Structure 1
Amino acid sequence: MDNTNPKKALVNTEIGLFLRGLIIGKVLTLIVIGGLLWWLLKPNLLSRSSVNSSANQSSNTGTTSTFQTVADVPTNSFNYGGSTAWASIRQLVDSQIQSDRPELQLRYLDPVNGSPGSSSGIRMLLDGKLDFAQSSRSLTDQEQAIAKERGFTLEQRQVGMDGIAVVVNPSLNVSGLTVEQLQQIYLGQITNWNQIGGPNLPITPLSQRPEDADTVIFPNNSDLKGQAFGSNVQYVYSTTDAVRQLSKTPGGVYYASARSVVFQCSVKALLLGRTSGQLIPPYREPMVSPEQCPRQRNQLNTQAIKNGSYPMLANLFVVIKQNKGREQQIGDAYAKLLLTDQGQKAIQQAGFVGVR
């Protein structure tokens, strides 16, 4: 006999369905509440994720200094001048500076008397005709003394590096010189190329006048400081003038900023060394012959200049008048602009070696 109570079974079934519905309802409620909380918190979570991502990216890339990041750049028009070796910097770098900082206007001035160069630019700065100067050599004791007499001092701030290259007529059968031989040529002690293993051909040394010169081969710290050139030295107005004369003078020789002359097609750059067994090219090897030029051009040997193995270096300086006036303010700002990451990269693009 079946003892099952139909009424009791029905009640149990209803209770089971009720409990199941209750559980499903609670689950759905939790899902809805969870979804609502996620929706409300989503902006904060995304924002935090973005901040963390930006922080990680910033820590990976570091901070790059640009022309825009330099503070205290004066608003005005300023005069500057000096080294002709800086021509590519004025064309490439200074144009970028004035594009990014239009409040700053720079005007290059040539000297009224003499040829443009480091020496004439520093002289014009001392005379109050320039607000700052560009130089391819160190200041002399005499220049510092003149500044002191006039109630201020001069600061030289290095922003780049160059080499001093020696160039000759391409037909000259000489491959290189020592620094001492070069100095003896300009002192008038070596007057024929056959004295240093070359052909029987008189040497015609070309140079800018010392009072206007861009670069020097008798540095301040040498025993030859202040030595007068030999009587056979012929003076030229500029490097462009010298290159033009060298192309027509088989025995000619000239020294200048490596950046200015190594890429020229009409002259040949010589190897230079502290000793005859250690000659270094101012250009990247292999040398590009005049026949290959201008399709190809020699490029500066930046590695030898940077590591100091090239024997004659020319540091690039911004010369700043320390007088607590507008000249000091613009000179300081210009040097800072060139020493930014953007400035150093632009100096390298202009063909020089940076200092950072």
Structure 2
Amino acid sequence: MTNDSKKSVPLSQDAVQIIRGLIIGELVTVAIIGGLWLWLRPRLQVDNDAFAASGRGRATTSALATSNFQTVTNIPIGSFNYGGSTAWAPIRQLVDSQIQIARPELQLRYVNPTTISPGSGSGIQMLLDGKLDFAESSRPLTDEEKDRARKQGFILAEHQVGIDGVAVVVNPALKVSGLTVEQLQQIYLGQITNWKQVGGPDLAITPFSQHPENADVVLISGKQALDKQTLGSNVQYVYSTTEALRRLNQTPGGIYYASARGVVHQCTVKPLPLGINTAQLISPYQEPFVPLNECPQKRNQLNTEAIKNGSYPITSKLFVVIKQNQGKEQQVGEAYLRLLATEQGQKAIEQAGLIPERKQEPIAKSK
């Protein structure tokens, strides 16, 4: 073979362009596949430790410390309705906006009732009526609500995710040092009707309350909730906490109880210390008390430490109420619960001024 026959034939300009295009195409394909994998990986990862429902419906405390909304699996796609407790408002404002950014496939829409006041009871009623996919509550389910669900062929399950304090507020001019839990209950039962009976001025007490069947917070006497039938005849019912605060400011002897997160910082009412006895009154606000004439430049802040360590005497539990019917309602309710059970969800609840459920127990270290 001659030396001339061994020489390589130079490629044409067209061939060079074709080869170059193939190489670039392969590089782009690899980059796209790699990018898709990085995007899908957290969504495909199974977060076995992030949530486990016990008989009491509690989020597991063995969740990975790094768990976040991206690690939660089986998130349904679509738009879903939810509603209920107004005590959940700070959670909805903070947590749900984060969920929408992290998981845009899940669209949540808060729905207010049309004929009754918003609250835990009305939200559960709307869930039973098929108007909501899941509900938020700041009180446990009643036997009546559970029975109604069973008659409709499914079970209502309540899952605790946090704790809120219950604050008692009065007209800012009222001079009374505080109340015991028993005195508060007797006021709403109509057994104590004048402030002089609890160390205050000679002034008739005007108790305000949401209708118990729709209220976010219920007072407990023994093992029975104080319902409308047992409340005193002098109790005046209001549509919402906003209405109660307005009327309380105009009523010298008025009193009202509600979510501490929603009323402690208000400028028009005065929160009262509460206790099991008069010698151990605990303030729902951080000491020292900020005088109302300094508000809104300064505001009283929630005493989260007292609520967290249990020294504050009245608290309410925050529940996600789920319809266990093997349908889309159960799927989205459980998905929302798994999101709140993550480390990101629990931190957001704390940032909203409430006590995460996980804070009540030591967090087990992941292996």
| TM-score, L = length of structure 1 | 0.80
Q: Which residue of 2 aligns with 1:56?
A: none
CA distance in 2 between counterparts of 1:309 and 1:345 reads 22
Amino acid at match of 1:260: G
Q: Which residue of 1 aligns with 2:94?
A: 92
Task: Spell out the pairing of 1:159-170 with structure 2 (5 A cutoff).
Answer: 159-170=161-172
Poorly superposed stretches of 4+, deviation over 4 Å: 223-227
Alpha-carbon distance, 1:283 to partner: 1.1
Aligned equivalent of 1:265, options 264, 267, 289: 267
Q: Which residue of 2 aligns with 1:350?
A: 352
C-alpha distance after superposition, 1:110-147 (max 9, x if no partner) = 11211000010011111111000000111111111111
CA distance in 1 between counterparts of 2:207 and 2:75 reads 44
Aligned equivalent of 1:208, options 182, 207, 210: 210
Task: Spell out the pairing of 1:177-256 with structure 2 (5 A cutoff).
Answer: 177-218=179-220, 222-223=223-224, 226=227, 228-256=230-258
Q: Which residue of 1 aligns with 2:24?
A: none
CA distance in 2 between counterparts of 1:335 and 1:298 reads 31
Q: Which residue of 1 aligns with 2:30?
A: none
* Larger Rg over CA atoms: 1
Alpha-carbon distance, 1:99 to partner: 1.2
Alpha-carbon distance, 1:162 to partner: 0.4
Alpha-carbon distance, 1:63 to partner: 4.6
CA distance in 2 between counterparts of 1:106 and 1:223 reads 34
Q: Secondary structure at the match of 1:316?
A: strand
How many residues align structurally?
294
CA distance in 2 between counterparts of 1:147 and 1:344 reads 29
Q: Does structure 1 retain, via aligned residues, the 8 Å contact 2:245–2:269?
A: yes
Q: Secondary structure at the match of 1:250?
A: coil
Q: Secondary structure at the match of 1:143?
A: helix
Alpha-carbon distance, 1:149 to partner: 1.0
Aligned equivalent of 2:135, options 129, 133, 136: 133
Aligned equivalent of 2:317, options 315, 318, 321: 315
CA distance in 2 between counterparts of 1:71 and 1:95 reads 19
Q: Could you list the runs of 5+ residues in structure 1 that have no partner in the other structure?
A: 1-61
Amino acid at match of 1:312: I
My pick for the range that moved more, 254-263 or 86-95, is 86-95
Amino acid at match of 1:86: W
Q: Secondary structure at the match of 1:145?
A: helix
Q: Which residue of 2 aligns with 1:147?
A: 149
In structure 2, relative to structure 1, the CA distance for the partners of 1:223 and 1:85 (3 Å cut) is closer
Q: Does structure 1 retain, via aligned residues, the 8 Å contact 2:160–2:320?
A: yes
Amino acid at match of 1:294: P
CA distance in 2 between counterparts of 1:73 and 1:341 reads 17
Aligned equivalent of 1:338, options 330, 337, 340: 340
Q: Secondary structure at the match of 2:203?
A: coil
Alpha-carbon distance, 1:225 to partner: 5.1
Aligned equivalent of 1:110, options 109, 112, 116: 112
Q: Does structure 1 retain, via aligned residues, the 8 Å contact 2:219–2:225?
A: no
Q: Which residue of 2 aligns with 1:306?
A: 308
Give percent identity, aligned residues only: 67
CA distance in 1 between counterparts of 2:208 and 2:324 reads 35
| TM-score, L = length of structure 2 | 0.78
In structure 2, relative to structure 1, the CA distance for the partners of 1:124 and 1:102 (3 Å cut) is same
C-alpha distance after superposition, 1:12-44 (max 9, x if no partner) = xxxxxxxxxxxxxxxxxxxxxxxxxxxxxxxxx
Alpha-carbon distance, 1:295 to partner: 1.2
Q: Which residue of 2 aligns with 1:73?
A: 75
Alpha-carbon distance, 1:223 to partner: 4.5
Alpha-carbon distance, 1:218 to partner: 2.0
Q: Secondary structure at the match of 2:186?
A: helix
